[in-house]
Structure 1
Amino acid sequence: MALSDVTHPDVSVVIPAWNAAGFIQKAIDSALSQEGVQVEVIVIDDASEDHTVDIVKDYQNERVVLIQAEENSGPGAARNLGFAAARGDWIAVLDSDDYFLPGRLSNLLNKADKTVDILIDPVVEQPYGRKECVPFFKQGELPVDELTLAHLISTNLIFTHIKSTGYLKPVFRRRFLQEKGVTYWPEVRIGEDYYFLAACLAHGAKAKMTEKAGYVYTIRSESISRIMRVEDINILLANDGRFLSEFTLGQESSNAQDFRTRNLIRGRDFLKLVRYIKGGQVLKAFKLVFNSPGSSLLLWLPVRKRLLAACRT
């Protein structure tokens, strides 16, 4: 399917898809039905093994563009393909199992001025098959006006009560991305959205927050939930090191990064501790607790989870 010759779009909606036949139509329809803005929808099929491609091809709509990757390379690589093909003034990422609420894009663009490079709204959650949506963030958990790099770093932690801003789905000014040369790290499959947004902010992007939620994050029972492993945290620490090698942070962001690093190391030690306990490696467990006492405090987490579940029943 070739790029269309429709009126120059205000927003390019980029949808990376892999085996998304069961739900991608809702995502595409939610983007096409946005009122008050010219939209093109770019679907990047990441070598799906189902009939995702057939569903996209069935759209007899010049605003829908299909790009087929030659091999499965992950969401970051797929988004890079979509971003490169985008023609809109703004680019919005939409996961194939999520959808936009009516008016989302026009509400965001109405808040933009010449100084704004990124537009962000809160997200809501919706269990698959249900109608009700629940705010992901509670009141006061998001900044009121602008998302800074320091705030982004300090709210992307593990094993804490802090809601991760990595779940936000920003809309980016395409000209800014082109001028700064910001792309996804294609080999990164853990936290790819975090590093992309962090790179934008490190390049000096102004990210404006808005109040009205417009992005629905769908929770499906068959979704593959990532269970954090020691190896995953090692990857995050390595990617953080890469990020720090590419950017010089201000004092506030640097302090936030130091806090994040300590948090990741503590989380890694906790997972090692659990591994040692389950494996009956008592001496290694005691040694780890001695060297990293904070890791043992996280043993309270599974107990707390069970207590909360019991209180709900």
Structure 2
Amino acid sequence: MGTGVSVIVAAHRAHDTILRAVQSLLEQDWTAWEAVVVSDDGTDYRPTLRAAGIDDPRLVFTGTGRVGAGAPAARNAGMAVARLALVAPLDADDRFLPGRLSALVPLALAHGAAFDNVAVVRDEDDSLLLRLYGEGQAPAWLDGEGFLATSVPMFPVVRRDLVPGWDEDVNFCDDVVFNVRVLDAAGPVPLVATPFYEYRQRAGSITFSADSGERAERCYRHVLDRLAGDGLGIRDEALRQRFTQAIAAKRARNAAYEAAFRAGRCANFQEFLALGEG
């Protein structure tokens, strides 16, 4: 198995954004990567990329065989064909900033996983909504408790043998569950303060939907049921308890977001966080 990184790109109705995501990989100075583009809408993304002049041998194409199976199912399908030592998710409407892989890959190889800061950007006008960590606020190491105090999605580079897979029955806050399980397996891992991941907020995405708050609440209840049952496979009992407490806090924050959304003060959860009310 190669020592590079398999970047798994779950793609659902993403023909208008896939070029940006893949281009961000082509601009990396760390070149030992493959991009596993997973179609979750029954379409072929190769013609879209080729029309833009992109036909790189590092691109691998597969699919879920379904339409709308969800990001967890798509990422698992990508994992099934990924060939390299590290795994990194990249949403099809997001992008890596230059230098991300050269900063994170060596750390992940040495410590099992590595995270970085995240910039939340409004897709329509490229304006910065917020950063996960402000200037001088990012810790050098991230553990489960530190992660559970965050509210912005995080996308680690992870050693393949530590990747737990994505729970397909957790269909909204799947990234939270995945990251907790990674940190349960790896322990504290390095956090790079530079915001190398650009999380794009765009109309039509799941977080923009009018029922996003209801979806989040259903997900939180389901995660609580799993924690009370199989513990989501989390071995550290203290971390399981902390996760349960964090879900209660997230439900309260979600209720506040719902109120702000209904009052017209924000269009999505990240805009709500930018208001400073979350």
Distance, in Å, in 2 between the alignment partners of 1:141 and 1:237 is 34
Which of residues 194, 197, 211 in structure 1 aligns to 2:176? 194
Question: How far did residue 122 of structure 1 move?
Answer: 0.6
Match of 2:85 in 1: 89
Show CA shifts across 1:106-133 (max 9, x none): 122344563x111111111222243444
Structure 2: 5+ residue stretches without partners: none
Query: Contact between 2:42 and 2:63, CA under 8 Å: does it hold in 1?
Result: no
Match of 1:78 in 2: 74
Flag the structure with larger Rg.
1
Query: Contact between 1:32 and 1:39, CA under 8 Å: does it hold in 2?
Result: no
Distance 1:54 1:241, change over 3 A: farther
Distance 1:104 1:133, change over 3 A: farther
Matches within 5 A, 1:101-112: 101-112=97-108
Matches within 5 A, 1:62-141: 62-72=57-67, 73-112=69-108, 114=110, 116-139=111-134
Distance, in Å, in 2 between the alignment partners of 1:244 and 1:106 is 35
Letter paired with 2:97: L
Query: Contact between 1:43 and 1:64, CA under 8 Å: does it hold in 2?
Result: yes
Query: Contact between 1:45 and 1:53, CA under 8 Å: does it hold in 2?
Result: no
Distance, in Å, in 1 between the alignment partners of 2:146 and 2:230 is 16
Match of 1:54 in 2: 47
RMSD: 3.4
- SS state of the match for residue 84, structure 2? coil
Distance 1:97 1:44, change over 3 A: same
Residues 1:14 and 2:8 aligned together = yes
Distance, in Å, in 2 between the alignment partners of 1:76 and 1:194 is 12
Distance 1:27 1:194, change over 3 A: same
Distance, in Å, in 2 between the alignment partners of 1:301 and 1:19 is 25
Question: How far did residue 260 of structure 1 move?
Answer: 2.5
| TM-score in terms of structure 1 length | 0.70
Query: Contact between 1:111 and 1:210, CA under 8 Å: does it hold in 2?
Result: no
Match of 1:235 in 2: 222
Structure 1: 5+ residue stretches without partners: 1-6, 156-162, 272-297
Question: How far did residue 32 of structure 1 move?
Answer: 2.1
Residues 1:260 and 2:254 aligned together = no
Question: How far did residue 185 of structure 1 move?
Answer: 1.1
Provide the identity percentage: 22
Question: Which 4+ residue blocks in structure 1 deviate beyond 6 angstroms?
Answer: 298-304
| TM-score in terms of structure 2 length | 0.78
- Structure richer in strand, relative to its length: 2
Question: How far did residue 245 of structure 1 move?
Answer: 5.9
Distance, in Å, in 1 between the alignment partners of 2:128 and 2:263 is 28
Distance, in Å, in 2 between the alignment partners of 1:245 and 1:69 is 23
Question: How far did residue 191 of structure 1 move?
Answer: 1.0
Distance, in Å, in 1 between the alignment partners of 2:219 and 2:63 is 29
Distance, in Å, in 1 between the alignment partners of 2:174 and 2:75 is 10
Distance, in Å, in 2 between the alignment partners of 1:258 and 1:211 is 27
Give the count of matched residue pairs.
260
